């Protein structure tokens, strides 16, 4: 570098060298020495995770974890509502932490491109070296994979929590048995609306309360009852999207009938989850189709409004085809990725993985999920019964549950939970029961370039058309033309790409 | 020969001008120093970020950065213009903007004229405060309130309609009611706030003019027509031109909150489209291309409006 080139060049090269130094410090000698002399102090690990509670968590659990794993954790808590925004911003500015939690499948799909671009460490071949991490379910790992390679640890989720929650006291008052078929559901909703189930002499109740969500609301679950595939299904040996199946149309017709007859809240396409639950809690609606786990919070709120009410849950509802089924998620909640921009060397990666290995052990696994015995829970019949102090658990335990890797089925010695509320206990049993009637999404491990680019946008068109059909703004032909539009604007390409990927995976 | 002389003459003249300007600047250096922070502000926060517009012509990947992402030319613009939705979006945006001009824009002027006629000072202050308040509420609150009022399930308005023997109206999930709902919300929130500038301009009118008019026997309406309105005409013009510059900026938040599957055909505008088609899926380049398009259209419209204003004998904004 010659001086005569002037200060501008000097500045540029200086900046450039600084940038490269940041991007690739493994070339800097100071960093390598850090690894060889690692045992000197606790390993430093930075984590970004989402926070589901309103308050900043206390660090009681964190301190214990740090002590037991000889690490120094820096956890950046990001409120759940703005997590994706923050994640994208951190990614765009290259400031991701060493362990990055992606909160669900959709986020992981968004990062596929970056993963393929070599921005994250591949961890698949390393997992076998860790006694606990190697217990992670290969099927679920496969669902998180990109081009057949594994880049992330995952947090286990029950494969399907979907089901029906309804007012047992209303059903009893009207002499209705537990619903077994979609027709039973319809009759129950109709009776809930028309036969004054709360016996107050006023026509002020409705059947079902739903919200602006075709997936986690009632629609997709009822679609399962009708035998609609989950996302994509096989038709004559080829994959096709769910909305091309006749069962999808039948489900739409079912909802159209509910809407027309006023059995469902008329504004459900713009109803928020809070408003949806409020309709149930205030005794205006008698049925809630969605996550069975919601039964606990619904019960607790309802009982304060109406101490005489009874709640029940049901599933294995059959449609006209007479087969029980329920759609399933790919078996993971959040996934943990390790960005190369933050984790500089393989030695560093291994250090972080061994931290997660310890976290997945029985002792720490139970600690971060259940807390401390005597303080946060007591043992009843060998099961964990959480103390009633919601504030305490919200502040000390709940946040750290977000850090968990693996879960009930993959952590050896993980303690089961005990539920005091009978309906919640039954709900959890139904969640387990769901495992035998699952409908999987065959595209979870598959890849389509067009889907990553345009899939979500195209799906909007289908979503709009579905709502329009239910609300009676378009007819069958109108829906078909929406599907044709989907095909024309890239859907055909998505079908083609998924099928190619499907054939390849079969080999 | 002549030409050369003329040329050198012109150059000399120009140089003279330049040194003159420099001399003037040196003489008034304190004043020029004062505009420096403003200039720097625009340079740093408005002009430097324009560098980012480059990604509209790239296939931008965050981890590659602006310098590393490949150029794709006008691909994103082609995609925008060939999208089925493009004309719907353009129509919606222009229609909503037209409604803004037609229905919202005159309201603050009329309101200010009315307030200006109120002579009781205390009462005037009260009314003013009252009409300013909605401006401080966020769109989330305003939209939530309307949702509660207009809901089909026990919404107040629909209950009243039923009581009066009418059918329920699905305000929230219909194409027809979106635009009236939108413009009424805009008027309710912004009209009061919009009066501030007009009231200030009206306060500056020479009271002597009114006195003279009264001597000539002009009534209240004559005074408003012949004195107040002409006096604030230039303010109205300036605000109109500025408003036109915002033609494609109708407020993302407001419309996004009102938007749903049932009214998308009339409610989708450029801002919401950028969000759903672009940012939600990390398509930064495409989003930037739409933003770029919006800015260019806005700029052209401002220039046209300014030109028209000047033709009409007004000052314009530049």
Question: Given this model, what pLDDT does residue B8 score?
Answer: 55
Question: Given this model, what pLDDT does residue B2 score?
Answer: 56
pTM: 0.78
| Closest approach of A8 to chain B, Cα-based (Å) | 18
CB A126 within 8 A of CB A357: no
Give A-chain residues touching B64 at CB under 8 angstroms. Answer: 117
Q: What CATH architecture is A8-159+331-401?
A: 3-Layer(aba) Sandwich (3.40)
- Judge whether residue B107 has pLDDT over 90: yes
| Closest approach of B151 to chain A, Cα-based (Å) | 7
DSSP H or E segment with residue A206: strand A206-209
How far apart (Å, rounded) are the C-alpha atoms in residues A84 and A50?
9
- The residue ranking higher by pLDDT, B66 or A314, is A314
Which residues lie closer than 8 Å to A172 by C-beta, 6 or more apart? A310
Cα B112–Cα B117–Cα B118 angle in degrees, nearest 5: 100
CB A317 within 8 A of CB A164: yes
- Judge whether residue B135 has pLDDT over 80: yes
Is B226 an 8 Å CB contact of chain A?
no
How far apart (Å, rounded) are the C-alpha atoms in residues B297 and B94?
11
The pLDDT-based confidence of B9 (bands split at 50, 70, 90) is low
| Closest approach of B172 to chain A, Cα-based (Å) | 8
State the average pLDDT for chain B: 85
pLDDT tens over chain A, length 507 residues: 333 444 444 344 334 444 433 444 333 333 333 344 444 578 889 999 888 877 788 888 888 889 888 899 899 998 887 888 888 888 888 889 999 999 888 788 888 888 888 889 999 899 989 999 988 988 888 888 888 889 999 998 888 999 999 999 999 999 999 999 999 999 999 999 999 888 888 888 999 999 988 988 999 999 999 999 999 999 888 999 999 999 999 999 999 999 999 999 999 998 888 889 999 999 999 999 999 988 988 998 898 888 889 999 999 999 998 888 999 988 888 899 999 989 989 999 999 999 999 999 888 989 989 888 888 888 888 888 888 777 888 888 888 888 889 888 888 888 888 888 889 989 999 998 998 899 988 888 888 888 877 888 888 889 999 999 999 999 999 999 999 999 998 999 999 999 998 888 776
For the B80-311 domain, the top CATH level (class) is: mainly alpha
CATH number, domain A161-327+420-442, options 3.40.50.620, 3.40.640.10, 3.40.50.300, 3.40.190.10: 3.40.190.10
What are the contacts of A347-354 at 24+ separation with CB within 8 A?
Answer: A347/A35, A347/A38, A348/A35, A348/A98, A349/A121, A349/A123, A349/A126, A350/A126, A351/A38, A351/A43, A351/A45, A352/A43, A352/A45, A352/A98, A352/A99, A353/A123, A353/A126, A353/A127, A353/A130, A353/A133, A354/A130
Q: Domain coordinates of chain B in residue numbers?
A: 1-57, 80-311
DSSP state of A268: G
Residue recorded with tokens 């028209």: B308
Cβ neighbours around A222 below 10 Å, total = 25
Partner-chain contact A110 B170, CB within 8 Å: no
Using DSSP, state whether A412 is helix, strand or coil: coil
Which residues lie closer than 8 Å to A112 by C-beta, 6 or more apart? A146, A447, A452
How far apart (Å, rounded) are the C-alpha atoms in residues A54 and A35?
38
CB A438 within 8 A of CB A163: no
- The residue ranking higher by pLDDT, B279 or A341, is A341
DSSP state of B276: I
Overall average pLDDT of the B29-48 stretch? 90
How far apart (Å, rounded) are the C-alpha atoms in residues A34 and A382?
45
Of B61, B262, B277, the CB nearest to A467: B262
DSSP H or E segment with residue A439: strand A438-439
Of B63, B173, B281, the CB nearest to A270: B173
Q: Which residues pair with A209 in a beta bridge?
A: A288
The pLDDT-based confidence of B243 (bands split at 50, 70, 90) is confident
Distances (CA, A) of A90 to A15, A94, A105, A429, B223: 21, 6, 19, 40, 61
Instruction: Give just the sign of the alpha carbon dihedral A353, A358, A362, A363.
Output: negative
Instruction: Give just the sign of the alpha carbon dihedral A18, A22, A23, A27.
Output: positive
Which residues lie closer than 8 Å to A78 by C-beta, 6 or more apart? A48, A49, A50, A51, A86, A87
Q: Which two tokens stand for residue B253?
A: 């938040």
Overall average pLDDT of the B8-37 stretch? 76
Which residues lie closer than 8 Å to B64 by C-beta, 6 or more apart? A117
CB A222 within 8 A of CB A254: yes
CB A450 within 8 A of CB A497: yes
Partner-chain contact B152 A117, CB within 8 Å: no
Nearest to A95 by CA among A363, A342, A399: A342
| Closest approach of B153 to chain A, Cα-based (Å) | 6
DSSP state of A451: I
Torsion over CA of B246, B147, A252 and A434, rounded to 10 degrees? 110
Partner-chain contact B264 A113, CB within 8 Å: no
């Amino acid at each position: 570098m010659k001086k005569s080139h002037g200060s501008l060049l000097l500045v540029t090269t200086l900046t450039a060298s600084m940038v490269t130094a940041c991007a690739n410090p493994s070339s800097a000698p100071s960093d390598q020495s850090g690894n060889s002399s690692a045992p000197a102090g606790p390993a430093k690990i930075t984590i970004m995770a989402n926070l589901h509670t309103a308050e900043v968590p206390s660090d009681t659990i964190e301190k214990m974890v740090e002590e037991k794993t000889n690490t120094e954790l820096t956890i950046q808590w990001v409120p759940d509502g703005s997590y994706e925004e923050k994640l994208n911003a951190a990614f765009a500015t290259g400031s991701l932490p060493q362990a990055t939690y992606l909160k669900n499948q959709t986020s992981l799909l968004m990062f596929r491109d970056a993963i393929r671009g070599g921005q994250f460490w591949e961890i698949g071949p390393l997992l076998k070296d860790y006694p606990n991490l190697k217990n992670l379910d290969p099927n679920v790992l496969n669902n998180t994979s990109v081009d057949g390679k594994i880049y992330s640890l995952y947090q286990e989720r029950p494969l399907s929590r979907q089901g029906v929650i309804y007012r047992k006291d209303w059903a009893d008052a009207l002499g209705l048995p537990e619903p077994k078929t979609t027709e039973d559901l319809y009759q129950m909703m109709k009776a809930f609306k028309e036969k004054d189930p709360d016996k107050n002499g006023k026509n002020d109740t409705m059947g079902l309360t739903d919200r602006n969500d075709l997936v986690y609301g009632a629609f997709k679950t009822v679609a399962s009852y009708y035998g609609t595939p989950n996302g994509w299904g096989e038709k004559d040996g080829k994959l096709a999207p769910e909305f091309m199946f006749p069962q999808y149309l039948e489900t739409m017709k079912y909802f159209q009938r509910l809407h027309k007859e006023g059995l469902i809240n008329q504004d459900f396409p713009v109803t928020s989850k809070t408003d949806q639950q409020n309709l149930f809690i205030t005794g205006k609606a008698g049925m809630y189709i969605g996550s069975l786990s919601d039964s606990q919070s619904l019960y607790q709120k309802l009982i304060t409004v109406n101490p005489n009410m009874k709640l029940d849950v049901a599933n294995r509802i059959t449609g006209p085809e007479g087969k029980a089924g329920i759609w399933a998620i790919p078996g993971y909640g959040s996934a943990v990725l390790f960005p190369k921009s933050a984790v500089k060397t393989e030695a560093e990666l291994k250090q972080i993985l061994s931290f997660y290995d310890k976290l997945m052990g029985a002792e720490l696994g139970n600690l971060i999920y259940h807390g401390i015995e005597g303080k946060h829970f007591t043992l009843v019949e060998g099961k964990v019964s959480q103390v009633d102090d919601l504030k305490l658990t919200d502040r000390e335990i709940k946040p750290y549950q977000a850090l968990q890797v693996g879960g009930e089925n993959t952590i050896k010695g993980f303690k089961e939970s005990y539920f005091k509320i009978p309906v919640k206990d039954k709900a959890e049993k139904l969640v387990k029961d769901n495992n035998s009637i699952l409908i999987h999404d065959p595209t979870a491990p598959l890849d389509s370039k067009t889907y990553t680019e345009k899939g979500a946008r195209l799906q909007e068109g289908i979503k709009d058309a579905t709502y329009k059909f239910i609300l009676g703004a378009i007819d069958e032909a109108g829906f078909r033309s929406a599907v044709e539009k989907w095909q024309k604007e890239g859907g055909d390409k998505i079908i083609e790409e998924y099928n190619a990927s499907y054939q390849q995976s079969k080999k | 020969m002549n030409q050369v002389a003329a040329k050198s003459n012109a150059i000399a003249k120009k140089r003279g001008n330049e040194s003159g300007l420099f001399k003037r600047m040196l003489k008034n250096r304190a004043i020029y120093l004062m505009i420096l922070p403003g200039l720097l502000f625009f340079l740093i926060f408005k002009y430097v970020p324009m560098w980012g517009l480059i990604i509209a012509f790239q296939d931008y990947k965050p981890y590659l950065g602006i310098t590393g992402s490949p150029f794709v030319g006008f691909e994103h613009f082609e995609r925008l213009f060939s999208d089925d939705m493009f004309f719907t979006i353009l129509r919606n945006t222009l229609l909503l903007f037209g409604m803004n001009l037609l229905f919202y824009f005159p309201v603050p002027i009329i309101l200010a004229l009315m307030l200006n006629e109120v002579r009781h000072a205390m009462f005037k202050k009260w009314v003013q405060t009252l009409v300013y308040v909605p401006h401080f509420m966020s769109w989330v609150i305003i939209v939530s309130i309307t949702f509660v009022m207009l809901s089909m399930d026990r919404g107040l308005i629909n209950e009243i309609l039923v009581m009066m023997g009418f059918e329920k109206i699905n305000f929230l999930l219909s194409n027809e009611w979106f635009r009236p709902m939108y413009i009424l919300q805009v008027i309710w929130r912004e009209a009061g706030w919009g009066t501030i500038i007009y009231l200030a301009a009206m306060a500056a009118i020479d009271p002597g003019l009114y006195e003279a008019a009264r001597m000539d026997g002009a009534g209240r309406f004559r005074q408003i027509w012949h004195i107040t309105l002409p006096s604030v005409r230039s303010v109205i013009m300036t605000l109109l031109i500025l408003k036109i510059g915002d033609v494609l900026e109708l407020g993302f938040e407001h419309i996004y909150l009102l938007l749903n599957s049932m009214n998308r055909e009339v409610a989708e505008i450029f801002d919401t489209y950028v969000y759903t088609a672009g940012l939600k899926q990390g398509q930064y380049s495409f989003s930037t291309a739409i933003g770029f398009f919006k800015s260019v259209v806005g700029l052209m419209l401002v220039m046209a409006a300014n030109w028209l204003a000047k033709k009409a004998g007004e000052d314009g904004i530049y």
